[in-house]
Amino acid sequence: MIFGKAGFGGAVADFESAVTAQDAKRFRKAFGRLQETFGQAREPELLDGGPRLAAVLEQVPPGPRAVVAVLVGACVERGADAGRCAPAVLAGLRWALEQAAAFAEAWAATGGGAFPAPDDGEPGAEAVARTGLDPALGWWTLRSWESAAVSLLNDRTVRDGLDGRSGLLRPLAAVAEASGQAFTSLAYALRVLDDEPLVALHRPSRTGYLLRLSGIGDNFQLHTLLADALIGGGHVEGRAPAPQEAAVCRETPGQVETEGSFDLVAPGGEPVWNEGAPADIPVVDGVRLLVLDDPSCRRSWPAGRFFPGMRGDLLLERTLDPEEAERWYAHVCPVASSVREPAGAEGAAG
């Protein structure tokens, strides 16, 4: 076969043609060329190629479909329209999760044992015999779908348009529990909150604040931005992060060493760990409620973003008047639980 134009743009066109024609021989050649040319792709080819590959993704066989989804995600990371690419990638993720969950059930029902470790190849004969081809492919390709989906979920418009996150989180949790393997990046990306109100009560000063958070991947990032807004803003006493420490938690690339400024505590007195996510903060009367105590010990970590491609922000909307603050304090346990490091943690607790 004679291919069309050279480069990634030509490879995309050839791949589209082979997929549409359902020509297996042409598909194999076009699929290989697609991967070979991606590394040298120019920006216009990436901007055009991502949505075009997403448009034919559903027609690609399940095994190579995950690889193409990763290429779509890589195009998005380099500027392709995430909104146009997202529906096909997230539909593929949903399929992979459903099949991986079926794999876990079938694996347990046929004798259990250690889950096979997916590699760059195809599912082994034993896995297919015990669970079926599609469930095995779902498990085998799930890490690739995780990578592709997270690339898309970095974009706020994709997160805003995502319906039924629980429909993805439930099978993901079932697969993680059954396999003993964590899919932390995907789980955290699906739980990112945007335009989410947060009431923070600074117990040492008996004051309260209404804030609004978006795009914050974990509570390390939230912790630094809280200290920047409240201590850096002159509202409470304590250690304020340096400007660069806060900047890397918003959109500046890189990481900068920082120190904890608070103990983060739930209204019931339980620690809110930095290793967790803002979605872990309890909701009280429809609003997430967090208590800030003076730090019980010195904790440090590299300030930055859990998702380097996701812009994070925390805005202080207003200081609560004393009467309003006291109404929120009525929901809070009067004595904080002692804060202990989570088992196995080397970094900071909340």
Q: Say what the pLDDT of residue 24 is.
A: 95
- In a shared domain, residues 110 and 208: no
Place of tokens 């990763």: 70
Query: What DSSP character marks residue 203?
Result: G
Query: What DSSP character marks residue 195?
Result: S
- On whether residue 14 sits in a domain, the answer given is no
- In a shared domain, residues 124 and 150: yes
- On whether residue 6 sits in a domain, the answer given is no
Q: Tell me which H or E stretch contains 159.
A: helix 156-160
Q: Say what the pLDDT of residue 225 is.
A: 98
Q: Which of 159, 190, 221 is the last residue of a domain?
A: 190
Q: Which residues pair with 302 in a beta bridge?
A: 257
- In a shared domain, residues 217 and 280: yes
- In a shared domain, residues 163 and 293: no
- In a shared domain, residues 50 and 183: yes
In the three-class reduction of DSSP (H, G, I as helix; E, B as strand; rest coil), residue 271 is classed as: strand
- In a shared domain, residues 59 and 138: yes
Q: Say what the pLDDT of residue 190 is.
A: 97
- DSSP for 20-31 reads HHT-HHHHHHHH
- On whether residue 11 sits in a domain, the answer given is no
As for how many domains the chain has, the answer is 2
Q: Say what the pLDDT of residue 117 is.
A: 85
Rounded to a whole number of angstroms, the distance between the first and last alpha carbons of the chain is 60
- On whether residue 136 sits in a domain, the answer given is yes
Q: Say what the pLDDT of residue 120 is.
A: 60
- In a shared domain, residues 166 and 210: no
- On whether residue 349 sits in a domain, the answer given is no
In the three-class reduction of DSSP (H, G, I as helix; E, B as strand; rest coil), residue 209 is classed as: strand
Query: What DSSP character marks residue 58?
Result: G
- In a shared domain, residues 118 and 59: yes
- In a shared domain, residues 242 and 205: yes
Domain containing 113 equals 42-190
Tokens in use for 36?
């070979």
CA distance 117 to 57: 25
Tokens in use for 37?
């040319």
Phi, psi of 198 (to 5 degrees): -140, 125
- On whether residue 336 sits in a domain, the answer given is no
Q: Which residues pair with 212 in a beta bridge?
A: 197, 315
Mean pLDDT by groups of 10 residues along the chain of 350 residues: 70 97 96 96 97 98 96 98 98 96 96 84 90 96 97 97 90 94 96 98 98 98 98 98 98 97 97 97 98 96 97 98 98 68 41
